Amino acid sequence: EAQVTQNPRYLITVTGKKLTVTCSQNMNHEYMSWYRQDPGLGLRQIYYSMNVEVTDKGDVPEGYKVSRKEKRNFPLILESPSPNQTSLYFCASSLNPGLHSYNEQFFGPGTRLTVL
């Protein structure tokens, strides 16, 4: 089954304790992206990756890191989480938007993060 998976689905942590949220897709997609969803703000892009070893900032990158060492994986790293990073996080993937006329993005199930 074609899908985007995220782990963990739920996480409660404390300020300053480094954490990683994993994302993996099995559709051989070049493009991957992380979003955070906050009430009344919709989804906002954190980071994206056009392909392996190619990453760039989205609209709200502060406090986050990413890496793209393999095509299928795109982990989101919070090196020193703070309470304002409490949110619902979604990973998404699509074919290369530069080669296809539209980039239907497929979303993972979400990770609900609480930082105390």
Partner 1 sequence: AQSVTQLGSHVSVSEGALVLLRCNYSSSVPPYLFWYVQYPNQGLQLLLKYTSAATLVKGINGFEAEFKKSETSFHLTKPSAHMSDAAEYFCAVSEKDAGGTSYGKLTFGQGTILTVHP
Nearer to partner 1 by Cβ, of 15 and 26: the residue is 26
> Is 50 one of the binding residues for partner 1 (CB under 8 A)?
yes
The total of other beta-carbon atoms located within 10 Å of residue 28's CB is: 10
Contact 72, 26 (CB under 8 A): yes
Q: How far is it, in rounded angstroms, from Cα 107 to Cα 33? A: 9
Least separation, in Å, of the C-beta of 113 and partner 1? Answer: 15
Nearer to partner 1 by Cβ, of 13 and 51: the residue is 51
Nearer to partner 1 by Cβ, of 48 and 64: the residue is 48
Nearer to partner 1 by Cβ, of 39 and 69: the residue is 39
Q: How far is it, in rounded angstroms, from Cα 81 to Cα 64? A: 9
- Residue 107, token pair as written in the block: 């979303």
> Is 85 one of the binding residues for partner 1 (CB under 8 A)?
no
Phi, psi angles (nearest 5°) of residue 66: -140, 165
DSSP state of 19: E
- In the complex, the residues that contact partner 1 under the rule CB under 8 A are 4, 31, 33, 35, 40-45, 48, 50, 58, 90, 92, 94, 97-98, 100-105, 107-110
